[in-house]
Amino acid sequence: MTIHKEGYKSIAIGVILFGIINIVSFYFMSSSLPIISLLLFIATLGLLLFLISFFRIPNRKLTIEENGIIAPADGKVVVIEEVQADEYFTDRRIQVSIFMSPLNVHVNRNPVSGEVVYNQYHKGKYLVAWHPKSSTENERHSVVYKKNGKEILVKQIAGALAKRICNYLQAGQEVKQTEEMGFIKFGSRVDLLLPLDAKVHVKIGDKPQGGVTTIATW
């Protein structure tokens, strides 16, 4: 396991705060209120470990599949439905949505190899990630990949806790499947808009692993 670069600053701040709080607690509370001091240490240690865990990159054998669309994120499949596309595409698409809790790995990965033909950031609201309108009204970053004449759209969507979407891609860039596309801080969701002829291999409630699980084939 390694720590993602997006976490270096946050973890450093967390370590400093952990040290300050517990040094102050030791000098001013440990003798008179030892139980409170101990509980404070346990609570702050738990928060620090959570912060470190949030930015983890686990060691995994990533999936490379020529005709596969690989999960761009860890999480839980909460939507599989046919929708009318509201961005870039004008046709109907299959939407697969993956909800990412704060406990999930938050690295986002390219679901396919190919060319990035569209890359757009949208300002928006911070509705809870499972809200039906979060896909169209929340802050989000949309990327369209083109491979062998076919295209898919991936949306990184902010939520009530997610206040920063990082995206590392540029339009015109050639990318490889399962390499990093970005990172979302503190829980959200990722939507995929697939062609109608794509064969979906997951169901609602499944818990795919980013870079590992085959979401669909085309």
Task: Write out the catalytic residue numbers.
Answer: 188
What are the backbone angles phi and psi of residue 4, rounded to the nearest 5°?
A: -70, 145
Cα gap 186→136, rounded to integer Å: 20
| Residues 6+ away with beta carbon under 8 Å from 29 | 36, 37, 40
> Tokens 């990533």 belong to which residue?
62
What single DSSP character describes residue 138? B
What are the backbone angles phi and psi of residue 119, rounded to the nearest 5°?
A: -150, 110
- Give the closest residue to 130 by CA, choosing from 57, 61, 84, 78: 78
DSSP 15-79: HHHHHHHHHHHHHHTTTT-HHHHHHHHHHHHHHHHHHHHHTEE--------TTEEE-SS-SEEEE
Cα dihedral 207, 210, 216, 217 sign: negative
